[in-house]
Structure 1
Amino acid sequence: MTVSTSVSEHHDRRGAFLLLGAIVLLWGINWPIMKVGLSSIPPFWFGGLRLLLGSASLFLLLGARGQLALPARGDWPLIASVGLLQMAGFLALVNTGLLHVPAGRSAVLCYTTPLWVAPGAALLLGEKLSGRKLAGLALGLVGLLVLFQPGSFDWSDRPALLGNAYLLGGALLWSFTILHIRGRRWQGSALALAPWQLLVGAVPLLAVAALTEGGPAVIDWNPGSLLVLAYNGPVASAFCYWAAVVVTRRLPALTASLAFLTVPAMGLASSALALGERPDASLLGGFVLILIGLVLVETRRKQPA
């Protein structure tokens, strides 16, 4: 290895860690920002406009770099899967759930995705479910029970019940997309395909918004809502998606996946600071158990040399 190559790799890793920190911060603080935005923008309009602005930002970026091109035919099924399920479906469920559930709690529930990927991969893809992963799943499920406290949960509070169900449904939908694309080969780069995925997600969300929530006039167009959209489109969608692609390419998969698990912790902290949400013992205890479970699910025991 030459000195120049070594220096280049060092800078690549340092840059990737800087981007990783930015992702954790920007996605983490977006939970209270989304909560605030939903007071002015209906959930389907919010999701659709966020994806549309993110798509436009990446189209402009790729166009300026001379890299804008139509995806290959073989990539369209995966573009549809990511755009419709992971983006449109996920945001529709999350935004609707956020109307009735605190932002910090919502962040924790949405990042339970690896708990559902592990058994799904075992059932559908034939991946081995080790004792370590089983222990992680068990801890994660116990954490969810601690979080919900079934004995003291007000089961008659239909909006809260549905809100929590929507958030868990979003995590399950994200998990299904991961299972669908795992092991499949993409012909285009992740960055080149990202604006098309965002656009495919934006179109049905905006159509559903127009049919069920009314025209754009239902949005309270004010400086606050415009700032929320300006953050969620170019920053939380376009930039963070691109940054996540760079991070996963330059850092070991385990390092990146475990670091992303700190996003809900940032969501809890920022929601407490920005919205005055005070996490109770059940939320903190459940989060810790879920986090330990996710780490066990995401890590592999070192094989003897």
Structure 2
Amino acid sequence: MTMPSPPVSRARIAPFGLVLLAIASIAWGLNWPVSKALLSEWPPLSARGSTGIVGALLLAGIAVWRGESLRVPHHQWLHLVVLAGLNVFGWMAFVGLSLLWLPAGEAAVIAFTMPVWAAGLAWLILGERLSMQRIVAMLMAFAGIAALMGGGGLAASAEKLPGIALALLGGFGFALGTVLAKKFGLTLPLVTSSAWQIGIGCVPVLLLGLIFESPHFAALTPLGWGLLAYVVLVGFCIAYVCWFAALKQLPASVAAIGTMAVPVIGVVSSAIALREPLGAMQIAALVFTLAGVALATRG
């Protein structure tokens, strides 16, 4: 008779997995002001799509250099495409476009309600318990979003609504991708899996950028090139590899904890680098959202 697996305890959480989560969180947190600053020189879809493809090619080269095969088993292609669409395409496209309507700090807070969505999706898909504590957590996170929507009056809220909707959609998709990644359990080597997911996800982002935007390399200043380099090397290569590696070592709910630091880093770094507002309303939204996320991932 097979005994049921015991629940994951704190003692069984791999410390190195938490280190990987911390690296990914810092990289993604700093990526918010970088992406916002890059908008002044390049449009969002073209910037994210092109940097993602370059990052995917670099990772593919690293995989080959490490002796990893780039071959994908036939039965895993569908799962790979689904995860790429949720973890990369949806996130890059929707959250990138949200920056056209929202300050980087606010977009980060809204998008990184992801762990709250993950708590509910893990209950539906993986059978994890959805306690009253997590329900209260969702209400707290939504209170933070409401604070952001009402921060500048009704007119300001209406203007921000497309950005809020896009950031929420991107966060929900990333949460679904996180849960499905645990369910699917891809057997590809880490760097190979990262290269394929980033590449598959960013091709349609770039195509949409070429159709609806007008990117010109001549418009990039030395600062713009530096921002692009950060997105390629840190935002894609380092952050996504660390995230996928952590997700292999940790439960989905624990992995989601690592993203809690992202909006904090995003808001603070955007206030410092871009002089975005960091007043009482933004702090209240940040506190309510992060408190909700923390509560959701604890119970």
Using the alignment, how far apart are the partners of 2:47 and 2:218 within structure 1?
9
Counterpart amino acid of 2:276?
E
Give unmatched runs, 5+ long, in structure 2.
Answer: 1-13
Query: Which residue in the other structure is 1:5 paired with?
Result: none
Query: Which residue in the other structure is 2:177 paired with?
Result: 177
Work out whether residues 110 and 167 of structure 1, in 8 Å CA contact, stay in contact via their aligned partners in 2.
Answer: yes
Using the alignment, how far apart are the partners of 2:18 and 2:107 within structure 1?
26
| Cα gap change, 1:189 to 1:173, in 2 (>3 Å) | same
Query: Which residue in the other structure is 1:75 paired with?
Result: 76
Instruction: Count how many residue pairs are aligned between Structure 1 and Structure 2.
Output: 286
Q: CA deviation at 1:265?
A: 0.5
**Does 1:51 find its partner at 2:52?**
yes
Work out whether residues 107 and 268 of structure 1, in 8 Å CA contact, stay in contact via their aligned partners in 2.
Answer: yes
Query: Which residue in the other structure is 1:222 paired with?
Result: 221
Counterpart amino acid of 2:132?
G
| Cα gap change, 1:259 to 1:238, in 2 (>3 Å) | same
Using the alignment, how far apart are the partners of 1:143 and 1:162 within structure 2?
17
| Cα gap change, 1:257 to 1:119, in 2 (>3 Å) | closer
**Does 1:134 find its partner at 2:135?**
yes
Give unmatched runs, 5+ long, in structure 1.
Answer: 1-11, 301-305
- SS at 1:263 equivalent: helix
Query: Which residue in the other structure is 1:285 paired with?
Result: 284
Using the alignment, how far apart are the partners of 1:150 and 1:64 within structure 2?
51
Work out whether residues 147 and 287 of structure 1, in 8 Å CA contact, stay in contact via their aligned partners in 2.
Answer: no
Counterpart amino acid of 2:232?
G
Using the alignment, how far apart are the partners of 2:178 and 2:170 within structure 1?
13
| Cα gap change, 1:186 to 1:246, in 2 (>3 Å) | closer
Query: Which residue in the other structure is 2:204 paired with?
Result: 204
Q: CA deviation at 1:177?
A: 2.4
Question: 1:99-138 maps to which residues of 2 (within 5 A)?
Answer: 99-123=100-124, 126-138=127-139
- SS at 1:174 equivalent: helix
Using the alignment, how far apart are the partners of 1:107 and 1:185 within structure 2?
28
Cα RMSD after superposing both structures: 2.5
**Greater mean deviation of Cα atoms: 203-212 or 240-249:** 240-249
Using the alignment, how far apart are the partners of 1:86 and 1:119 within structure 2?
17
Q: CA deviation at 1:32?
A: 0.6
Counterpart amino acid of 2:277?
R
TM-score, normalising length: structure 1: 0.84
Q: CA deviation at 1:44?
A: 1.2
Q: CA deviation at 1:260?
A: 2.6
Q: CA deviation at 1:150?
A: 7.7
Work out whether residues 47 and 88 of structure 1, in 8 Å CA contact, stay in contact via their aligned partners in 2.
Answer: no
TM-score, normalising length: structure 2: 0.85
| Cα gap change, 1:248 to 1:120, in 2 (>3 Å) | closer
